[in-house]
Each structure stands twice: as C-alpha cells, then as structure tokens.
Amino acid sequence: MEENEIKALISLLDDDDKQVVAHVEEKILSLGKEAIPHLEREWESNLNPKLQGRIEEILHVLQYNLLKARLLDWFKGKDRDLLTGMWLVATYQYPDLELDKLKQELEQIYYETWLEFRPDLHPMDQVKVVNGVLFNKLKFGANTKNFHSPGNSMINVVLESRKGNPITLCVIYMLVANKLKIPVYGVNLPNLFILTYKDDQHNQFYINAFNRGLIFSRQDIENYIAELHLVPQPSFFNPCDSLEIIRRALRNLIMSFEKMGEHAKAEEVKLLLVEIAEGGELGV
C-alpha cells in the first residue's frame, strides 16, 4: 500500500462511526509491521488526543504481535542467543530498543573489564576482577529499594541505572565473563538466580551477582535448600540454558506487573511465556 493511502486510512480513525473505525483498525492491523512507522509519524504530527489514543492502541497490538513472532523465531532457532532473548523481553516495554545499542554498551563494559583481566589468574581471582569492575568501578548492584519494578527485568534499564534484579545482573555478568572466556553460567536456584564458575578441570563454585559477586560453595547451596525445606535437585547446582533464563525473566516480569497492579500487561507477558513453553512447535 502506498504511503498516501496508509495516511488516508489512519486519518479515518477519527471517524465518529464506530463501524468505520473498526473496519479501518482491521485494515491497518492486516498491514502488519509495515504500518508501524506510518502510525508513529502520524501520532507525532497529529495533536488530536482521540486519534492519538486510537493510534497508540493499534501500535501496541502491532508491536506486541511483532514481538511474539520474533520470540517464536528465537525459540525455534538453533543458537538462542542470550542477549537477543533479553532484548526481546525488553522490547515488550521498549519496542524501539535496538539490539546493536545493547551490544555496544556491553562491549564497553567488557573492554573496561578486559583492561584489568589476566587469563593466567586463578579462577576465583578472575571472578574477583570481574566483581571489582562491575560492582566497585561501574557501581552495578541490587535494586532493593524498588525490587518489583518491571524495569529490573529490562536489560536496557539495568545497563542505564546500574540497578537490577538477580537474573538481569547475572545475565550482564555472564555476557561479560563469557566474552573474557571465563566459564560462567546461570543457575536456576529457587527464589534466587545465581551463577556458577565451572571448567573442564573440575573447578566449580558459585557467584551471587545480587550480592556484589559474593563467592560461595556447593555446601552453601545445600544449606540454603535445607532452609527452604526443599528436596535438592540437580538443576539447583548445574548450569541452565538461555531458554530457561528467558523464561525466568518473563516470569519475573509477570510478577512485577501483577505487584504494580498492571494486570493487562501481566496477561500479555503470560502469553509470551506460552510461546516458548515446552510442547509442540508453538509452545502450547
């Protein structure tokens, strides 16, 4: 469809006839992501609040559908890149966020860590270097004041504010560590997402990114599990994959929206989680 045709179509959203508006909305939605830039331009240039409101509603539907399609592509893909997954989670709230921007910001953090890093260091000393840069120099840390903020699950917000929840802090830590060739992975511990250093020489210990990179042992995890009165599971001690991390990030986001009383958003994120659930191509 030509640009002037789309523009004319959008202008009809201001019609007083509800049937006309419903037909126009259906037509615009059928255009898919092609309509998004046109709607955004019209929203910016038009000062009619009613029209702007209708444009916002349609934009949200189009952007949400685009996110669902991208997330399903990521789920079906072979590599399931972790940063791409976290970018997709963040685009629910920030649809214009660019993946390249996140890559550049992480590259800068990696560079600052690389300047102080030496590959010949003992594993624990390697981790202490990363801890020093992330938590002392760059001031990353736990967002304890506003723990349930949805922004804590958005990697772009955490990169900017330097405050986040356990999983987002762990993801940033892991992405930087892996680029330094440090074998650090996520661990799906109940009520707390942590990291493990695990190499081929049977060195293994754990890192709590939510507590400034505190290093602890398997015995500490066993004690923690006992305090929760849970039966120990292999998943409490071993690395998890990027799919599990993204699922957990989405569950955190659902909980945040519910705590904030934003139940419609929580329901939409639940549907995203269904897209990447086990069972069948569509994750049903």
- Average model confidence (pLDDT) for the chain? 93
Strand order of the β-sheet with 214-216 is 184-189, 192-198, 204-208, 214-216
pTM for this model (two decimals)? 0.91
DSSP summary character for residue 133: I
Q: Give the phi and the psi of residue 208 in degrees, each rounded to 5.
A: -105, 95
> Is the pLDDT assigned to residue 167 strictly greater than 60?
yes
| 172-189 per-residue burial string, b: 16 or more CB within 10 A, e: under 16 | bbbbbbeeeebbbbbbbb
Tell me what pLDDT residue 280 has: 38
Q: Which CATH number among 3.10.620, 3.40.50, 2.60.40, 3.30.450 corresponds to the domain 82-275?
A: 3.10.620
User: CB–CB of 234/264 below 8 Å?
Assistant: no
Q: Where in the chain is the domain with CATH 3.10.620?
A: 82-275
pLDDT tens, 103-138? 999 999 999 999 999 999 999 999 999 999 999 999
Tell me what pLDDT residue 181 has: 97
When pLDDT is averaged across residues 24-47 and rounded to a whole number, the result is 88
Of residues 15 and 67, the one with the higher pLDDT is 67
Tell me what pLDDT residue 214 has: 97
SS3 70: helix
